[in-house]
Structure 1
Amino acid sequence: MTVRTRFAPSPTGFIHLGNIRSALYPWAFARANRGVFILRIEDTDLERSSQAAVDVILEGMNWLGLMPDEGPYYQMQRMERYKQVLAEMQAKGLVYPCYMSVEELDALRERQMAAKEKPRYDGTWRPEPGKALPPIPEGVKPVLRFRNPKDGVVAWDDKVKGRVEIRNEELDDLVIARPDGTPTYNFCVVVDDMDMRITHVIRGDDHVNNTPRQINIFRALGVEPPVYAHLPTVLNEQGEKMSKRHGAKPVTQYRDEGFLPDAMINYLARLGWSHGDDEIFTREQFLQWFDLDHLGTSAGRFDEAKLRWVNAQHMKMTDDATLAGFVAGPLRQMGIEPDGRLSALCALFKDRCDTTVALAQWLRPYYQDVTPSEADRAQYLTDAVRPALAALADALAQCDWTKEGIAAALKAVLGAHGLKMPQLAMPVRVLVMGTPQTPSLDAVLALFDREKVVARLKNA
């Protein structure tokens, strides 16, 4: 059996981290088992669906490297197929027309709640042997309801929740087509999963109430349901379900803020799955290790500080030339066109940063003028050190422009002026980089243009 999984978002708002985790696990399971990962856009909510939301889904998945093997398929393009299956079910007596109006249904539910009963459709229009149905009202278009089994249980072995059993008497007859003939969500999902030969449905546990209804429709159609894994919710830092309403950001915003795609994969994977105590791992390791047996049963909680730490570790792990490719974008956003020094600059500064945007900020002085703060100038650019700075400017104008040549020039000036390294290095950093804290000074200066360093030192 070839593993076939799917991610089926509704394009009714931007895709956030809680949504994208529901794409990550089915993608990973398909990859780990040499299977097929399918993208399906569930766009039947015409009022709320938008192409802009679809574009963000595709853009976010592309950035994270979660591109599907098949799709995207769009439910609105499959309407004829749904209607074909509906007609087949009608012919077999698996569905029936129901003429109960919305007002009648509301009144029924009010009576049931007043009697402390579970509100549910009571089967008024369900045909049964020997049962007389009410007269069909004039001018009313019926919905189609699925004839749910009345007895027994519907059960499945959930890969997260374990054995789940629901008594069929708890489920009423589901509406699977509206009065205008358009099919409803639960029915479309079953037909899609059937036609796309989905073997494993890995989705959020907000769908768990739909599962028994979908399983019964599968079985009515003579198809064995897929394996289900219902993932616990992702919470925000306040402990609320992650959502746009509760401040969740679009996935693409993390790209723009300087997070690496492999770091995001690493962090999201750990929001509901684990491999022992491993905190930091590569994409390749994740796919080698991933299975459904180690999915967590409790809600994952988003923690931006932890995400930044994970991103910092991945920046350290990333090859300098590859990292340079990620830093080039933020530099261009600053109006800077990077040059051949970029890989070496990334190597020098990446240990100090938790995003590529922060790394780009460190590199700004190599390409644009710096203005030291008045506080730093007052603290470090004293009259006592100015003669040494002038001497260093002269020495650097003539030395070999290598790390070793610069180190020798620094040492000579320190000796001539009776200073210790911090007394000279701090003001040099302030003048050249705009900050008193940098990596090793000779390494920092060696990647500058000589003329720029000398000019900034003479600005003391």
Structure 2
Amino acid sequence: MNSQLQNNAKMIRTRFAPSPTGFLHIGGARTALFNWLLAKRHGGEFLLRIEDTDRARSTQDAIDAILDGLSWMGLDWTGDAISQFARATRHAEVAYALLEGGHAFKCYCSPDEVQALRDEAFAAGRALRSPWRDRDPADAPADTAFTVRFKAPDTDVLLEDAVQGQVRWAAKEFDDLILLRSDGNPTYNLAVVVDDHDMEITHIVRGDDHLVNAGRQSQIYDAMGWDRPVFAHVPLIHGQDGKKLSKRHGALGAEAYRDMGYLPEGLRNYLLRLGWSHGDQELFSDAEAIAAFDLAGLNKAPARMDIDKLNHINGHHLARADDARLVELVMPFLDGLEDRIPQVDITQERLLAAMPALKSRAATLEELAGQSYFLLKPRPFRIEGKAAKPLKDDEARARLYRLFTELGHVKAWTEDALSNALKEFAEAEEVGFGKIGQPLRAALTGGAPAPDLALVMTLIGRDEALARIKDQMTPATPA
């Protein structure tokens, strides 16, 4: 056995075994997360196997996309990723061991014969049984290609599943499964069993679309005299309409959520609650998730994607993230803003100072970039449309001039001092605060989203704030 696959059989070992399709599907990300958490909870190991036997789709780019997605998600695995294709010789070895043990046989049926037998079996309400399962191998035609088929037992198949409970299939439901194709290549169910056994996988958490496969695979485990792993088949993720998640429901790859501005810890927390529960707790740190995760918390009912809940959970983690890290992460999202100051050092300095105030106002990095735009707009602003309306009135401009003068006398440029100065100015002018706030906001932000005005002026600083106001005063006439 490959030394990479050897380990203490008593250690809990889980695995994630994706087929390379070009990205890490969000459902696959959840499967990987559950297996990762189970291993972490018990001090075990989480392994990665790439099921790359479909050579047409298994490009290096597709494999790299999965590895990148898992790495971004923070789901680290033990050792190197294992290639299923590279183990084809080992799979064939087990097929011939089953053949020698009387649990498999060579089938010489042609494709047309197989189809006729399948049609006949379907009409009789049972699965295909090959006539070669009980035929003397000496009767085999010379120089004829054959497949190696598993001799399906004539007894019911019983599976104890950690999520689905006890599942039973009648013997007639399972056909004589092909183990090796006529070209000698192994089939999926054989390869999976052999790999999981050799990798000493103790627990398999995966989608319930694999439940029937678990029944077939259990037969192979039993025939080889191998211990079955603990199976836990979770319902697939559904869209908001209650139907199986598909491309029409929106972005499906983990990298798409990254590109929309979600944090990996936010997506981990959301996916954790998508089919698993721990009382009424919704928000989890990684340490809390690892300490709480168990198979008993997995739900039988399908979970539904809910972007509003994802935004809520991600916003929670965004508000608690390190400020310097957020500055680095938000920078690419600022590239999409039409007009901003070009100096990276000024941008980062302003963002870092403002981050404690801004990060709790956004659900995603994309929103955070939008909330940060007022800091980065280059002067003088081009204020157009609805945002410019408060500045079109001569009296508003004149009042802005007077406010400019008062603000110039503020000694402590703090949020509290500025807030008091604005209130006192509104009282002195004998007008509602809106008469002050609307033109001032337009002058300070140019219509971009921003927090309270006193905080805006604090974040951009005295010189920048007064300069922005002054830009909008002309051609006002002081009253």
CA distance in 2, matches of 1:240, 1:356: 29
Cα gap change, 1:109 to 1:181, in 2 (>3 Å): same
Q: Are 1:145 and 2:149 matched, yes or no? A: yes
Displacement of 1:280 in angstroms is 1.8
Aligned counterpart in structure 2 of residue 124 of structure 1, from 123, 131, 137: 131
Q: Is the 8 A contact 1:60 1:252 kept in 2?
A: yes
Q: Is the 8 A contact 2:374 2:449 kept in 1?
A: no
Cα gap change, 1:140 to 1:449, in 2 (>3 Å): farther
Aligned-residue Cα RMSD (Å) equals: 2.4
- In the TM superposition, what whole-angstrom CA distance separates every residue of 1:358-415 from its partner, at most 9, and x where no partner exists? 1111112212234333223224552222122123334445644621554465456445
Q: What does 1:220-369 correspond to in 2, within 5 Å? A: 220-244=223-247, 247-332=250-335, 334=337, 337=344, 338-369=347-378
Cα gap change, 1:211 to 1:323, in 2 (>3 Å): same
1:74: which partner in 2?
83
CA distance in 2, matches of 1:382, 1:242: 53
Q: Residue type of the partner of 1:217?
A: I
Larger mean CA deviation between 439-448 and 84-93 belongs to 84-93
Q: What does 1:154-173 correspond to in 2, within 5 Å? A: 154-173=157-176
Larger mean CA deviation between 16-25 and 241-250 belongs to 241-250
Q: Residue type of the partner of 1:270?
A: R
Cα gap change, 1:299 to 1:218, in 2 (>3 Å): same
Q: Secondary structure at the match of 2:34?
A: helix
CA distance in 1, matches of 2:305, 2:161: 24
Aligned counterpart in structure 2 of residue 382 of structure 1, from 375, 393, 413: 393
2:7: which partner in 1?
none
Unaligned runs of 5+ in 1: none
CA distance in 2, matches of 1:411, 1:304: 40
Cα gap change, 1:53 to 1:241, in 2 (>3 Å): farther
Q: Is the 8 A contact 1:401 1:450 kept in 2?
A: no
Aligned counterpart in structure 2 of residue 372 of structure 1, from 380, 383, 387: 383
Q: Secondary structure at the match of 1:340?
A: helix
1:95: which partner in 2?
104
CA distance in 1, matches of 2:361, 2:182: 62
Q: Secondary structure at the match of 1:442?
A: helix
Q: Is the 8 A contact 1:16 1:248 kept in 2?
A: no
Cα gap change, 1:242 to 1:212, in 2 (>3 Å): same
CA distance in 2, matches of 1:411, 1:240: 54
2:65: which partner in 1?
56
Displacement of 1:141 in angstroms is 1.2
CA distance in 2, matches of 1:436, 1:410: 20
Q: Is the 8 A contact 2:23 2:255 kept in 1?
A: no
Displacement of 1:56 in angstroms is 2.0
CA distance in 2, matches of 1:437, 1:256: 21
Aligned counterpart in structure 2 of residue 439 of structure 1, from 412, 432, 451: 451
Q: Is the 8 A contact 1:18 1:234 kept in 2?
A: yes
Unaligned runs of 5+ in 2: 1-9, 473-479
Count how many residue pairs are aligned between Structure 1 and Structure 2.
Answer: 454
CA distance in 1, matches of 2:392, 2:250: 45
Displacement of 1:80 in angstroms is 2.3
Q: What does 1:173-184 correspond to in 2, within 5 Å? A: 173-184=176-187
- In the TM superposition, what whole-angstrom CA distance separates every residue of 1:207-260 from its partner, at most 9, and x where no partner exists? 011112111111222210100000101012232212336544311111111111
Q: Residue type of the partner of 1:95?
A: A
Q: Is the 8 A contact 1:201 1:228 kept in 2?
A: yes
Q: Residue type of the partner of 1:160?
A: V
Larger mean CA deviation between 310-319 and 229-238 belongs to 310-319
Q: Secondary structure at the match of 1:300?
A: coil
Q: Secondary structure at the match of 1:241?
A: coil
Q: Secondary structure at the match of 2:114?
A: helix
Q: Residue type of the partner of 1:8?
A: A
Displacement of 1:181 in angstroms is 0.5
Cα gap change, 1:87 to 1:401, in 2 (>3 Å): farther
2:14: which partner in 1?
5
Q: Residue type of the partner of 1:371?
A: R
Cα gap change, 1:453 to 1:381, in 2 (>3 Å): farther
2:206: which partner in 1?
203
Q: Secondary structure at the match of 1:235?
A: coil
Q: Residue type of the partner of 1:390?
A: Y
Q: Secondary structure at the match of 2:349?
A: coil
Displacement of 1:200 in angstroms is 0.3
- In the TM superposition, what whole-angstrom CA distance separates every residue of 1:98-150 from its partner, at most 9, and x where no partner exists? 1111111111222333x3423x32231113xxx55694345431111112322
1:393: which partner in 2?
404
Cα gap change, 1:122 to 1:357, in 2 (>3 Å): same
Larger mean CA deviation between 286-295 and 398-407 belongs to 398-407
Q: Is the 8 A contact 1:17 1:250 kept in 2?
A: yes
Displacement of 1:295 in angstroms is 0.6
Q: Residue type of the partner of 1:304?
A: I
Larger mean CA deviation between 26-35 and 161-170 belongs to 161-170
CA distance in 2, matches of 1:225, 1:257: 41
2:216: which partner in 1?
213
CA distance in 1, matches of 2:22, 2:248: 11
CA distance in 1, matches of 2:323, 2:89: 52
Identity of aligned residues (%): 37
TM-score, with structure 1 as normaliser: 0.91
Q: Residue type of the partner of 1:291?
A: D
CA distance in 2, matches of 1:13, 1:135: 47
Q: Secondary structure at the match of 1:376?
A: helix
Displacement of 1:303 in angstroms is 1.3
Displacement of 1:264 in angstroms is 0.9
Q: Residue type of the partner of 2:144?
A: V
Larger mean CA deviation between 168-177 and 262-271 belongs to 168-177
CA distance in 2, matches of 1:112, 1:89: 25
Q: Residue type of the partner of 1:374?
A: G
Cα gap change, 1:77 to 1:245, in 2 (>3 Å): farther
Q: Residue type of the partner of 2:125?
A: E
